[in-house]
Amino acid sequence: MDKDITLNYIDKLHNSLLESGKAVNRNLIVSIIASLVLFGLSKGIVTVEDKISILGANLKIQSWIITLIITWLIAIVFIRILGMARHESRIMDTIIRLYEEISFSDESMKDEEANPLEYPSILTTLTSSKNLKLGKAWLLVSIVAAFMIMLLPFLAVGYAHFILFSLHGPKWWLIASVIAVAGLMIIYTVSFVRSLDL
């Protein structure tokens, strides 16, 4: 009976792990698209209308407000990605521990690159050492792509703040945004890296 309860719980954890993996991938895609849009806004490639109509009321929104909203959206999504990735890791550790408690162990469950329990991650797929079979050049391209996916939000947020500084000068709201966004992104990244079993 105890084994059945454990297996039932493992099944629930596994479903949660798969949903979390899907959410990480969706958020990575949102982060990439929002970062590219933010670069476009900052460079003037993408423009937005200053007027928004809500229930017949015409509102005028400055482009710098839209830029700051997207900047904060990117920071929130980035922090969410790190939090979900940490959550995935904890669930995976729990599943492996529970399987070992009922005397089941398989090396494939500890495979960081192709774990049969996990939903395939964009980053894991890009950085897999199995890409070595495709050649060292492909592996290098994959690692650079994965690095850029994680670095892109920092670059987009930093560049947008730089452009806003050059247009508006050191306004209090801009300084507060830089400190808050950069601080949160850096703190969560450092915390995430420290939580990894390296």
User: Domain segments of the chain: what residues?
Assistant: 2-195
Q: Sign of the CA dihedral 37, 41, 46, 48?
A: positive
pTM beyond 0.85: the answer is no
Which pLDDT score, from 0 to 100, does residue 24 have?
86
- Span 156-168, mean pLDDT? 90
CA distances to 95, 125, 126, 146 from 130, rounded to whole Å, are 25, 9, 10, 15
Predicted confidence (pLDDT) at residue 158 exceeds the cutoff of 60: yes
Which pLDDT score, from 0 to 100, does residue 88 have?
83
60 bridge partner residues: 51
Which pLDDT score, from 0 to 100, does residue 135 have?
64
Which among 152, 50, 189 is positioned nearest to 160, based on CA atoms? 152
Q: Which residue has the higher pLDDT, 128 or 60?
A: 60
Name, in order, each residue with C-beta under 8 angstroms of 118's C-beta and a sequence gap of 6 or more.
17, 18, 21, 88, 92, 124
Percent of the chain scoring above 90 in pLDDT: 12
The kind and range of the H/E element at 61 are: none
Predicted confidence (pLDDT) at residue 137 exceeds the cutoff of 90: no
Which pLDDT score, from 0 to 100, does residue 61 have?
75
- Span 107-135, mean pLDDT? 65
**Residue 103: band (very low, low, confident or very high) from pLDDT cuts 50, 70, 90:** confident
Which pLDDT score, from 0 to 100, does residue 74 have?
93
Predicted confidence (pLDDT) at residue 157 exceeds the cutoff of 80: yes
Interatomic CA distance for residues 131 and 142, integer angstroms: 8
Q: Which residue has the higher pLDDT, 6 or 149?
A: 6
- Span 78-87, mean pLDDT? 87
Which pLDDT score, from 0 to 100, does residue 75 have?
92
The span from the first CA to the last CA of the chain, in angstroms, equals 37
Q: Do residues 69 and 38 touch, judged by C-beta distance below 8 A? A: no
**Residue 193: band (very low, low, confident or very high) from pLDDT cuts 50, 70, 90:** confident
Which pLDDT score, from 0 to 100, does residue 73 have?
93
> What's CA 52's distance to the chain center, in Å?
30
Interatomic CA distance for residues 135 and 142, integer angstroms: 11
